[in-house]
Structure 1
Amino acid sequence: MHLSRRQFLGAGAVSLPAAALAGCGFAPAASPAPSSSTGGGSGTLTFTTWGTDAELAGFRDVISRFEADSGASVQLNAVPYEQMFTNIDAQLQAGEAPDLFRVPYYTFGSYAGQGQLLDLGPHLPADFADRFTPTAWAAVQNQETPFGVPHHTDTSVILYNTALLEAAGVTDVPTTPEDAWTWDELAGVAEALRASLPAAQYPLAYNWQGNGVTRWLSWLFQADGRFLAEDLLAPAIDSDAGRAAVEFTQSFFTQDWVPANGSVQSATYASDLWYAETVAMTWAGAFLLPDADATLDFEWGATYSPRQVRGGGDFGGNAVVATAGADPELAVAFLDYLTQEQSMRDFCEVSSLLPTRADLSESGVEFVARPELSEVFLGQAAQVQPEDAGQVASPNMSEIITVLQEQLEAAFVGGQSPDDTVAAMAAGIAEATAR
């Protein structure tokens, strides 16, 4: 089944679903038999996820190999993303949750903070954390305790229409993260495009629609700012960095660099504008590559997100977690298998997603679709700092997302000043973290 770009981009998810997947019903968690070996032993795990066809094929492959090697079984239940967490929440409430489920990092904290997940700390080998990058491991911590494993990540780079950039005289595109455009240089590119393009076309679009509003935080991180204090219990966004990030991104609208329907609360996704050649550049994750490669009939490339005080980007992707009632030994055996080198490499290469293992991040993976762009996404992912990912995994992130959506929309569409915007953000974050 070929996936349309709308199916890839629906619901603002980090790694996004096909519109219809096999096995839409949920099954209550089975009671696993006691484990009889260090490999996990016999028993059954239930695992609920959404996914593209490629992602589900990757999961089925690793499950098949795990079952053959361990003697255990894993019942995979694939559902549409739109139904995923409504059903998970209902099952947790009813005591019928699956043993394992997939969860975006920005949603992870709300489950870990409510005692709904298995504390993996007592069950993992002492060196287990060493297989992951510090950034990825930080994203599955709650109060310095792991409640999941970082399965993969994704981050946004700039996809550009080659002909439109060349027509504007933009031929020097950065080829390393260190040479990424500064904010001023990006503004110069946008101004050149604005002067070259007709009124109905625009220089850029940013992928902050829906829950993708967390991607706006990349600008804050590039300014070397934070939205939460180090203890994750108080706001830190009312700062020079916060005001600079709001002011610069607000200029996208005041300078006519983005279309009117390119705001945070728009129902039109940034990549749809790029597919339609309404914009010359868009920010997008690697998950988009297979569909873009199969669909687009114009020449396009990718370059790194900008730098300011430092490089920075969004930490997307998903963790896999075990629920509190799962058999610890069996669940940990599967989570270990899922994140072994070959399992992760195979999954990421076919799905166009980024590994969380340190060895794979260093040696690289090669996407099946547009393999030459793998290096760009891996290089951008390396710009994400552990302290950035740790903030996004806050237990209060769902409430903070609402604050960001409301206040950025007020700034971008309503003309609210940067000072008032960061002050309102700080007040909203303070209320969210006090709950």
Structure 2
Amino acid sequence: MKRFKWVPVLLILMLVLSGCNGFTKGGSGAEEVEAEGDKVTLDFWTFWGSEIRRPIIEQIIEDFNNSQDEIEVKHTFIPWGDIWTKELAAIAAGDPPDVVINDINATALRGKNQQAENLSKYLEEDDISGDFYEELWNATLYEGDSYGIPFNTDTRVLFYNKDAFEEAGLDPEQPPKTWDELREYADKLDVKNGDKYERIGFYPLFGVGTDVWMMNADNVNFIDENSEVQVNTPAKLQTLEWLKSWHDKYGENNINSWKAQMESQQANPFFSGDLAMLVQQPTFYTQIRDYAPDLNFGVALLPEKEPGNGHTSWGGGFVAEIPYGAENPDASWEFIKYLTGKEAQEYWAVKNFDNVANVEASESAASSDEFDDNGKMVYELAVEAMPQTMLTPVPLAAPDFTTLVNPEFDNVYLGKKTPEQAMKDAQAAVEKLIEQNAN
């Protein structure tokens, strides 16, 4: 029942005498339902307020509302920087929303902290776990139970300039498949004038970070599900040495100059041909479509460290959750099933050009007639990359371990430490953190 801090005694007596028990609450800010036959109102929080995404999610909500006559979903937009702090405050106050879109990589942590409802009782009766990519589903589990249903996701792929390939004598239909080929291609694609580059073939830390390449190398997260620290593995050390060689090749000044240009969507050096290859999310295609429609480009899986190692990529995503203490969890579950079902997922995928968690919807969207040829090319490649895409769930034993690891990577690029020393120090620091957290 709704928590009233101040309720007139007379009103309470009237309710008791009249036998009125029809008040229910649809979450924070939802209207009260004054009769048992009325619809349950749900308050659905998202951060999708842009002129593109807001109409799409609200169309999905409208379709759900029209599909049945028992539940009415209301959309509440809360900006990215505020939504989750406000959600936690609402949970603590006992007045949470009914459904919220949340970060997939921290789903297990919220389950542990009792900030999201355990969905096991619903899944026992209606097991939809097989509808989603396995890596995404596993990220929602805490002690074997799911605390959120995957909604959308992403991956990382290689975009490359076909005209630049031809100019450098490379086959535009044969992108690099390994790290050695990546370096070979980049050297041929570079155009240097004195100490400055007019075109950079490729720099691995444009678009993704050190961690992505380390997972590409050994397919292992920094902390596994048993809280074992795997920071200083041989493959990760080799990766850091490899990345440092790229940094030394181009130099800090050139790297910073190109990085500054990339901060502007319209002036991205990949659009002008000044950067020949770039790792990005598949949704990067929409920027090419809008700002460089004549660009002759291709896409490929993330190159593997060596043949047979795997084209492992990295991704994140979001889940639909029922916040802990939500008033109408049964109704919330019904809406979440619709939200993550094939119809709604495919609509979101096509209208947003966004990767979705539902496998059937994702594969169907890849052949959508609403995509042009380039759109289909990119989306099909993204679907191909998904089974090889790793997530990085927040390790329960050390949620903030990256604050210890990332500075060590920076020390290497700045020349303050050797890769060997940095990886050794990072491993020791994370092990110490886990030990401290256990006490």
DSSP 3-state at the match of 1:81? coil
Of stretches 126-135 and 407-416 in structure 1, the one that deviates more from structure 2 is 407-416
Q: Which amino acid aligns with 1:374?
A: Y
Closer, same or farther in 2 for the Cα pair 1:313/1:426, shift >3 Å? same
Deviations 1:288-319 (A, max 9, x none): 22232011153333222111222200122211
1:432 Cα offset (Å): 4.8
Closer, same or farther in 2 for the Cα pair 1:261/1:103, shift >3 Å? farther
1:64 Cα offset (Å): 0.8
Say whether residues 1:304 and 2:276 are aligned partners: no
Q: TM-score, normalised by structure 1?
A: 0.79
Matches within 5 A, 1:7-406: 28=28, 30=30, 42-51=39-48, 52-71=50-69, 72-124=71-123, 125-174=125-174, 181-194=177-190, 199-206=197-204, 213=209, 216-256=210-250, 259-261=254-256, 269=263, 272-275=268-271, 277-296=273-292, 298-308=295-305, 309-326=309-326, 327-363=328-364, 365=366, 366=368, 368=371, 370-384=375-389, 388-389=390-391, 391-395=392-396, 399-406=400-407
Can you give the 5+ residue segments of structure 2 that lack an aligned partner in the other structure? Answer: 1-26
DSSP 3-state at the match of 1:382? helix
CA contact (8 A) 1:270 1:283 kept: no
Q: TM-score, normalised by structure 2?
A: 0.78
DSSP 3-state at the match of 2:311? coil
Greater relative CO, 1 or 2 (CA 8 Å, sep 6+): 1
The percentage of aligned residue pairs carrying the same residue is: 18
Q: Which amino acid aligns with 2:42?
A: L
1:261 Cα offset (Å): 2.3
Q: Which amino acid aligns with 1:70?
A: Q
Closer, same or farther in 2 for the Cα pair 1:109/1:170, shift >3 Å? farther
Partner of 1:19: none
1:403 Cα offset (Å): 3.1
1:364 Cα offset (Å): 5.1
Closer, same or farther in 2 for the Cα pair 1:278/1:31, shift >3 Å? same
Counterparts of 1:422 and 1:267, CA distance in 2: 31
Counterparts of 2:411 and 2:141, CA distance in 1: 33
Number of equivalent positions: 393
Deviations 1:366-425 (A, max 9, x none): 4736223211111122212xxx43x43434675133334322222223353222232233
Q: Which amino acid aligns with 1:298?
A: L
DSSP 3-state at the match of 1:279? coil
Closer, same or farther in 2 for the Cα pair 1:364/1:64, shift >3 Å? closer
Closer, same or farther in 2 for the Cα pair 1:140/1:168, shift >3 Å? same
Deviations 1:9-61 (A, max 9, x none): xxxxxxxxxxxxxxxxxx93548869999xxx931221221234333222112
Say whether residues 1:423 and 2:418 are aligned partners: no
Q: What is the CA RMSD across the aligned residues, in angstroms?
A: 3.3
Greater Cα radius of gyration, structure 1 or 2:
2
Q: Which amino acid aligns with 1:136?
A: L
CA contact (8 A) 2:39 2:72 kept: yes
Closer, same or farther in 2 for the Cα pair 1:201/1:47, shift >3 Å? same
1:239 Cα offset (Å): 1.0
DSSP 3-state at the match of 1:298? coil
CA contact (8 A) 1:108 1:395 kept: no
Can you give the 5+ residue segments of structure 1 that lack an aligned partner in the other structure? Answer: 1-26
